[in-house]
A and B are shown apart, each in its own frame.
Chain A
């Protein structure tokens, strides 16, 4: 005989999906029955036995339907077998004990059962207890095992023996010595941890595949082993990464963070080298294609091209939040004040709408000496006196002084600004001594001196001393003529 409903058909799953809805009815009913029983027995309330029996009847009916729906839902598969088994038998237990409790309470049946009153309370107690355990297992099945306790705060966390909260590994830490790194442990596994393990782990094994250990990759999932050692092109995990993102079989699924080209190159390379478990980079053949990807793992280098990390050190500074009143005072003076970015308290201040801003108003900046990172005072009335105040903005990173009256004397104050990377001195009276002063600042990356009093010879001299510093002096009549000629001559040559 065939029971069509018991196959994993559309109908079965349709009804099965009602399990999470139905399951809450017996939970509620049973607890009500238990509470009524307690209240009745302690004499706190006045309810008849038939009322309790009525609630118990519907608890039992609800539990039975929840069991049926739950079984149908489980046919869809994808659950941890052991946990599912526990949950099922506890659920069935709830239904059975609820029926027993009702039988012992009902007017029709209670008197026919010997020792009835003695087993009534244990039956009700067991049904209630099983409700809790079955409910917990059900929650674990749906949301994952550590869902309930994931955010347990200290000190309860250590008291309950829960391991410390794992930080989400979104960034892979750079490797100090790539040559000596163990390929699987130090390179492959962190990539898998970052991009794959979230869905392929002990408690959640999508496609029956776990990727948290090498042996489990070899074991594979529904589609066979995750890779074929020596043949990346035939390896499922690589093939899936290379499918178009819109493809249903593409991994990681659309919308999740994807592997970078370099990461795929590294995984392919490891597989092509026979997927060794404990070989180091230096023991394997490093192809030209994988070299840049390997280099990107090292400390202090970005993925390709530039060698210097361009993120300013100042951006990782933790400074206290600015006082709103101080910011309001700046805004009243016509300055724009904006936060640099979320999660930090640095600010940028611009006087673009305050052309009359002058030395006297500089005092407004003083209370924000830690927070101001970018300061734009171009086209204002400030003079050298203002630079003494600016020198106190110890976390200053970018400074615009173009089209102001500042001179060499004022610039001498700025020497101790450790984070200053950009200074704009276009159309100022600053001359060669000023350029030399700012060039001696260690962190400085670019200085703009077009239409200032800085001479070309000083620019070339300072450039030689500080080859990493970008000094831009720009065009004048003569160099523009050269620029025009350069374009014209190449044009004519080609024609």
Chain B
């Protein structure tokens, strides 16, 4: 016993390094001064009244058309020129030198010198009553063409994956801002008290390049961050009780911990402690609710067939089915990431003729099934599905290091790409914006990622210019100082 105590004391001392000392001096003394200064300015307790059970909604500016969002992000960025943005003119240019005006003053991630143009690899036709252009890469999506609004004139500011993903999801290419899902839960609140309001599911073998920040809470209280669930095995690691510990004992443990945390909160008033308390409570409730909602074994066989999943596998298709189950249980924001869409043409896996086709085969059916499934449950009207990536791909073939690539690939492209939305208050069977005849640049109704964010917030009932959070002396918003709502896509 004595030995144990000594060890504890020693460990404690080890933790008290010089750095800690300096840190607490600096922060501590500074904070003393600042605290008294700041206590008089503004409501310092704003947003501290949070517990996971009761993440209260703000009153939206307009009645929300989209009460929930499923955001499907194809990390790496699929080629719009193979899937949706049909450019017959590009066929004629295939193999020819890229026109000089496309290259003047432009920077690319990998393209150097004068690349060759690359014709579309998919076979295009029009589908549905709306006559939406789609390629043979997405045969199942063709069947739901009339549910979809395409935005073909997207553009962004960043041509590398991580900053572009951050810009798309947090409104800034730099770290530290809350993600779209965090804003959504901050605004509309969380409905199901047994599940987090913002759940993230990833597939494709890797996490998005920008890491957890793309679903982080930034400067919002961390209770609003996305909770990532695993698709196979335990949905949330360590959420199940170890053998020998029953639920009652677990409950008592958590209550004791929370009591200590509550006392600490009263001492130091750090709102993050409240978040910690609520996370413990949420985790306890999730022990029951998550395994139940993530269990697809009770789904009828024809539903499983529709998505093309087998219970127990951790695929994108499974994530689509889980997304449906989560929104069915009133989870506010479900974020899907699927990695592996970066078709540079360097290998058999990452090119636009074979690799992209394979990725589409794994994702096309479940996405179409998700739309159908939500529709027949009466959920599509209130659930916005957003599909897209951080940027698009060039109409030129990539020539990394000035070499001819072994496969057909395209470089990152920020001036034109396609995204689509369905359900949740957007038009059915509509296409917005156009690119030039080679698909290089948007020529009509260009939509910046900030405009997309403004539009999504609008559909959720929020005026992106008024929906703000005070931080470091100013009000921040998702769209920073930019963004215009694209009214034309709203039904």
Q: Is B376 touching A448 in the complex (CB atoms < 8 A)?
A: yes
In the complex, whether B480 has a CB less than 8 A from a CB of chain A is no
In the bound complex, residues from chain B placing their C-beta under 8 Å from that of A305 are: 427, 430, 488
B163 interface residue, CB < 8 Å from A?
no
Is residue B320 contacting chain A, with contact meaning CB distance below 8 A? no
B330:A490 contact, CB within 8 angstroms: no
Interface size classification for chain B: 35 or more
In the complex, are the beta carbons of A342 and B192 less than 8 A apart? Answer: no
B103 to chain A, nearest CB (A): 21
Q: Does A339 touch B at the CB level, under 8 Å?
A: yes
Are A487 and B302 in contact, CB atoms less than 8 angstroms apart?
no
Of all chain B residues, the one with the shortest Cβ separation from A473 is B376
With both beta carbons as reference points, the residue of chain B lying nearest to A425 in the complex is identified as: B378
Decide yes or no whether A21 CB sits under 8 A from chain B.
Answer: no
In the assembled complex, the CB of A430 is this many whole angstroms from the nearest CB of chain B, namely 13
Chain B residues within 8 Å of A402, by CB: 377-378
Name B341-396 residues within 8 Å CB distance of A: 364-365, 368-369, 372-373, 375-378, 381
Do B123 and A341 touch across chains, with their CB atoms under 8 A apart?
no
A interface size (C-beta, 8 A) = 46
- A217 interface contact, C-beta 8 A: no
B63 within 8 A of A: yes
Q: Mark A416-441, 1 if CB is under 8 A from B, else 0.
A: 00000010101000000000000000
Bound Cα distance from A483 to B367, whole angstroms: 13
Looking at the complex, which one of B301, B330, B487 makes contact with A352 (CB distance below 8 Å)?
B330
The answer to whether A339 touches B59 (Cβ under 8 A) is yes
Task: Please give, as numbers and ranges, the residues of chain B lying within 8 Å of A484 by CB-CB distance.
Answer: 305-306, 365
Which residues of chain A have C-beta atoms less than 8 A from B57's C-beta? Answer: 338
Residues of B within 8 A of A310 (CB): 425, 490-491
Taking a contact as CB atoms under 8 Å apart, the answer to whether A336 and B191 are in contact is yes
Is the Cβ of B302 less than 8 Å from the Cβ of A475? yes
Q: When the two chains form their complex, are residues A491 and B378 in contact, meaning their CB atoms are under 8 A apart?
A: no
The CA-CA distance from A202 to B252 in the complex, in Å, is 74
Instruction: Give min CB distance, B458 to chain A, whole Å.
Output: 12
Asked whether, in the complex, the Cβ of B136 is within 8 Å of the Cβ of A494, the reply is: yes
Which residue of chain A is the closest to B53 with respect to CB atoms? A353
Chain A residues contacting B142 (CB-CB under 8 Å) are 487, 490
Convert A460-495 into 0s and 1s, putting 1 for each residue whose CB lies closer than 8 angstroms to a CB of B. Answer: 000000000000111111001101101110110011
Q: Is B276 an interface residue (CB 8 A)?
A: no
Q: How far is the CB of A286 from chain B (nearest CB, A)?
A: 20
Whether a CB of chain A sits under 8 angstroms from the CB of B120 is: no
A341-B461 in contact (CB<8A): yes
Measured CB to CB, the nearest residue on chain A to B491 is: A310
**Smallest Cβ distance from B251 to chain A, in angstroms?**
19
**A304 close to B (CB within 8 Å):** yes
Contact A353 B376 (CB under 8 A): no
Q: Does B87 make an interface contact (CB < 8 A)?
A: no
Chain A-chain B contacts (Cβ-Cβ < 8 Å), number: 116
Given A352-B192, A353-B192, A422-B381, answer yes or no on A474-B136 (Cβ-Cβ < 8 Å): no
Residue A446 is within 8 A (CB to CB) of chain B in the complex: yes
Q: Tell yes or no: A306 within 8 A of B by CB.
A: yes
Using CB atoms, name the residue of chain B closest to A447: B378
Given A426-B376, A448-B377, A473-B376, A353:B193 Cβ within 8 A: yes
Indicate if A383 sits at the interface (CB-CB under 8 A).
no
**Judging by beta carbons under 8 Å apart, are A306 and B139 in contact?**
no
**B143 engages A258 (CB within 8 Å):** no
Residues of A close to B136: CB separation below 8 A: 490-491, 494-495
Chain A 288-329 near chain B by CB (<8 Å), digits 1 or 0: 000000000000000111100010100100000000000000
Q: Is A273 an interface residue (CB 8 A)?
A: no
Chain B contacts for A450, CB-based, 8 A:
376-378
Contact check, B487 vs A303: say whether CB atoms are below 8 A apart.
yes
Q: Using a CB-CB cutoff of 8 Å, which residues 63-107 of chain B contact chain A?
A: 63-64
Contacts of B305 in A (CB 8 A): 480, 484
**B189 in contact (CB, < 8 A):** yes
Q: Does A340 contact B (CB under 8 A)?
A: yes
User: Is A194 positioned at the interface, with any CB of B under 8 Å from its CB?
Assistant: no
Q: Is there a chain A Cβ closer than 8 Å to B297's Cβ?
A: no
Contact between B377 and A426, CB atoms less than 8 A apart:
yes
Which chain A residue shows the least CB distance to B425?
Answer: A310
Candidate in B376, B445, B490 with the most chain A CB atoms within 10 angstroms: B376
**Is A261 in the interface zone, CB < 8 Å from B?**
yes
A350 at the binding interface (Cβ < 8 Å): yes
Which single member of B330, B373, B445 contacts A261 (CB below 8 Å)? B445
Cross-interface CB contact of A306 among B123, B191, B461, B491, cutoff 8 Å: B491
A356 CA / B189 CA spacing, docked (Å) = 22
A-contacting residues, B404-432, CB 8 Å: 425, 427, 430
In the assembled complex, the Cα of A447 lies from the Cα of B469 at a distance in Å of 39
Interface pair A486/B143, CB less than 8 Å apart: yes
- CA–CA, A337 to B365, complex, Å? 37
Q: Mark A5-31, 1 if CB is under 8 A from B, else 0.
A: 000000000000000000000000000
Quick check: B427 and A306 within 8 Å, CB to CB? Answer: yes
**How far apart sit A349 and B442, CA to CA, in the bound complex (Å)?**
43
Asked if B140 is at the interface (CB within 8 A of a chain A CB), the reply is yes
Least Cβ distance of A311 to chain B in Å? 9
Asked if B126 is at the interface (CB within 8 A of a chain A CB), the reply is no
CB pair B375–A474 under 8 Å, yes or no, is yes
Q: Which of B191, B365, B381, B488 contacts A350 (CB 8 A)?
A: B191
Whether A487 contacts B139 by the Cβ 8 Å rule is yes
B364 surroundings in chain A (CB, below 8 A) = 487
List A contacts of B221 (CB < 8 A).
none
The closest CB in chain B to the CB of A445 belongs to B381
Complexed CA–CA distance, A477 and B377 (Å): 16
B134-176 CB mask vs A (1 if < 8 Å, else 0) is: 0010011011000000000000000000000000000000000
Q: Which residues of A71-118 have CB atoms within 8 Å of chain B's CB atoms?
A: none
Residues of B within 8 A of A339 (CB): 59-60
A480:B302 contact, CB within 8 angstroms: yes
Inter-chain CA distance A338–B490, complex, in Å, is: 23
> In the complex, are the beta carbons of B306 and A483 less than 8 A apart?
yes
Most chain A beta carbons < 10 A, residue from B192, B302, B305, B430: B302
Q: Determine which of A346, A473, A483, A494 lies in contact with B143 in the assembled complex, contact meaning CB atoms within 8 Å.
A: A483
Assess whether A480 is in contact with B378, with CB atoms less than 8 Å apart. Answer: no
By beta carbon, the residue of chain A nearest B59 is A339
Q: Which residues of B contact A400 (CB under 8 A)?
A: 378
Instruction: Report yes or no: B491 in contact with A477, Cβ–Cβ below 8 A.
Output: no
Residues of A within 8 A of B140 (CB): 483, 486-487
CA distance A495 to B360 in the complex (A): 14
Q: Is B61 an interface residue (CB 8 A)?
A: yes
Cβ contacts under 8 Å, B139 to chain A = 486-488, 490-491, 494
Chain A nearest CB: distance from B278 CB in Å? Answer: 15
B364 (CB) vs chain A CBs: closest residue: A487
A446: contacting residue among B330, B378, B425, CB under 8 A? B378
Q: A258-B484, A483-B369 are in contact. List 20 more A-B contacts (CB 8 A).
A: A305-B430, A315-B63, A338-B189, A341-B62, A342-B59, A350-B330, A352-B191, A352-B329, A352-B330, A426-B377, A448-B378, A474-B377, A475-B372, A475-B373, A475-B376, A483-B306, A484-B306, A487-B139, A487-B368, A490-B139
Chain A residues in the interface with B (C-beta under 8 A): 255, 258, 260-261, 303-306, 310, 312, 315, 336, 338-342, 346, 350, 352-353, 400, 402, 422, 424, 426, 446, 448, 450, 472-477, 480-481, 483-484, 486-488, 490-491, 494-495
A-B pairs with lowest CB-CB distance, top 5: A474-B376, A448-B378, A494-B136, A487-B140, A424-B378
